[in-house]
């Protein structure tokens, strides 16, 4: 029996909301019926096929929605997800999940109580090269893993005034570091300890280094920055070193993730036995793959397996610990910290 289309709404039509709209248009099982935007007239130009509502509250009250994408400013994530759950709507929420782990926990509880599908858009789990190396680690193809080094560097964002207020956005520590902390959690689980060092302007944390240790004596580092010069291209990458091989992936784009189709990328495999070789990963639009997984869960219905919301909550606890470490100048022992035990 053919399933009917998922009637989807998108709350927030800034840059990432428009990316989600383009992804949804590529998935036959989705019908985007309404979006919410503060700039109604401008949004009608990019979304002529459905209703354009002036607020996310109006969207969540819109008749006949099955699910919603929350692409709002970070400080609104909790309120929107909780309200969506109360209305029986499945929700895909942009990262970071929330500003704090306490807020994330309330979101998780609301979704569980309502029995709706809830997923956080942790994009690296659907980014082909990151997903490929996660499978390599799981299969033991690198041998015993020794270390991981990740970076994510960009010029200061200028797209919205709310983002400049770190009480509303969390700044670089949340917005960029969340990607690589989530990847590390996906590959290695909860670390034993972490310490974050940060610099910025006016008390912000806009260039950070985080060092983590894990149960089997693996170490990892993350560098994330919104302090790069205006001419600096958006760049990210990861290097894993194991007993049998190493892997390195690099991505450079002049237009942030928006320029991913024209970006410079390399994925190299360095075995102990044999010469280095390029890793050929089948191309995949990570935004489409991410949304397709969410839709599959809604149609099944089942909670997400690739990006479980409980794991996104655990990553929020790591971000709380990272923020505390940067402010205090002290390391955090996760197993004994109240930040871990909640």
- State pLDDT tens for residues 322-339: 999 999 999 999 987 766
DSSP state of 301: T
DSSP percent split of the chain into helix, strand, coil, nearest 5: 40, 25, 35
The whole-angstrom separation of Cα 7 and Cα 66 is 5
- Check pLDDT > 80 for residue 221: yes
Any residues with CB less than 8 A from the CB of 211 and at least 6 apart, and which? 194, 195, 196, 219, 220, 221
Instruction: Show me where the domains of the chain are located.
Output: 6-122+287-302, 124-285+319-333
Model pTM greater than 0.75?
yes
The beta strand positions in 20-123, using DSSP E, are: 30-36, 51-53, 67-70, 90-94, 118-121
> ∠ at Cα 270 (269, 275), nearest 5°?
105
Is 71 in contact with 13 (CB distance < 8 Å)?
A: yes
DSSP state of 262: G
The whole-angstrom separation of Cα 329 and Cα 253 is 33
Distance of CA 114 to the CA centre of its chain: 24
For residue 55, how many other CB atoms are within 10 A of its CB?
12
The closest alpha carbon to 98, from 196, 200, 174, 6, belongs to 174
pLDDT tens per residue, range 101-133: 999 999 999 999 999 999 999 999 999 999 999
Q: What are phi and psi of 69, to 5 degrees?
A: -100, 125
Model confidence at 141, in pLDDT bands (50, 70, 90)? very high
267: left (phi over 0), alpha (psi -120 to 50) or beta: beta
Model confidence at 151, in pLDDT bands (50, 70, 90)? very high
For 128-132, which contacts have Cβ atoms below 8 Å and span 24 or more sequence positions? 128/281, 128/282, 128/283, 128/284, 128/286, 129/249, 129/251, 129/265, 129/267, 129/279, 129/281, 130/183, 130/238, 130/249, 132/267, 132/279, 132/281
Mean pLDDT (the chain, rounded): 93
What per-residue confidence (pLDDT) applies to 260? 65
Rg value, the chain, Cα: 20
The whole-angstrom separation of Cα 285 and Cα 324 is 35
Is 322 in contact with 194 (CB distance < 8 Å)?
A: yes
CATH topology assigned to domain 6-122+287-302 = Rossmann fold (3.40.50)
- Residue 68, classed as helix, strand or coil, is strand
What per-residue confidence (pLDDT) applies to 257? 64
Tokens of 124: 């690296």
pLDDT tens per residue, range 287-335: 999 999 999 999 987 888 999 999 999 999 999 999 999 999 999 999 8
Mean pLDDT is lowest, of 7-11, 191-195, 258-262, for 258-262
The whole-angstrom separation of Cα 218 and Cα 107 is 32
CATH topology assigned to domain 124-285+319-333 = Dihydrodipicolinate Reductase; domain 2 (3.30.360)
The whole-angstrom separation of Cα 249 and Cα 152 is 12
């Amino acid at each position: 029996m053919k399933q009917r289309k998922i009637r989807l709404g998108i709350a927030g039509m800034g840059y990432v909301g428009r990316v989600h709209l383009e992804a949804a248009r590529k998935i036959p099982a989705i019908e985007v019926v309404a979006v919410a935007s503060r700039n109604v007239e401008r949004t009608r130009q990019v979304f002529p096929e459905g209703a354009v509502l002036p607020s996310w509250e109006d969207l969540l009250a819109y008749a006949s929605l099955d699910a919603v994408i929350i692409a709002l400013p970070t400080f609104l994530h909790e309120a929107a997800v909780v309200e969506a759950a109360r209305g029986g709507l499945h929700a895909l929420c942009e990262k970071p999940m929330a500003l704090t782990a306490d807020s994330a926990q309330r979101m998780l509880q609301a979704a569980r109580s309502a029995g709706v599908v809830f997923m956080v858009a942790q994009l690296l789990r659907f980014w082909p090269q990151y997903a490929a190396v996660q499978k390599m680690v799981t299969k033991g193809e690198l041998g015993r893993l020794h270390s991981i080094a990740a970076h994510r560097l960009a010029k200061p964002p200028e797209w919205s005034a709310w983002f400049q207020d770190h009480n509303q956005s969390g700044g670089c520590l949340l917005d960029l570091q969340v990607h690589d902390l989530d990847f590390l959690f996906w590959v290695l689980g909860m670390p034993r300890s972490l310490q974050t060092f940060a610099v910025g302007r006016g008390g912000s944390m806009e260039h950070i280094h985080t060092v983590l240790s894990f149960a089997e004596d693996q170490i990892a580092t993350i560098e994330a920055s919104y302090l790069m010069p205006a001419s600096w291209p958006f760049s990210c990458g990861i290097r894993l070193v194991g007993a049998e091989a190493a892997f390195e992936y690099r991505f450079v784009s002049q237009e942030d993730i928006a320029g991913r189709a024209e970006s410079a990328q390399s994925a190299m495999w360095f075995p102990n036995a044999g010469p280095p070789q390029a890793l050929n990963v089948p191309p995949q639009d990570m935004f489409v793959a991410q949304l397709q997984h969410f839709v599959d869960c809604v149609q099944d219905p089942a909670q997400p397996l690739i990006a479980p919301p409980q794991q996104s909550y655990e990553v929020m606890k790591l971000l709380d610990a990272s923020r505390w470490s940067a402010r205090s100048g002290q390391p955090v022992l996760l197993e004994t910290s109240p930040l871990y035990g909640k």
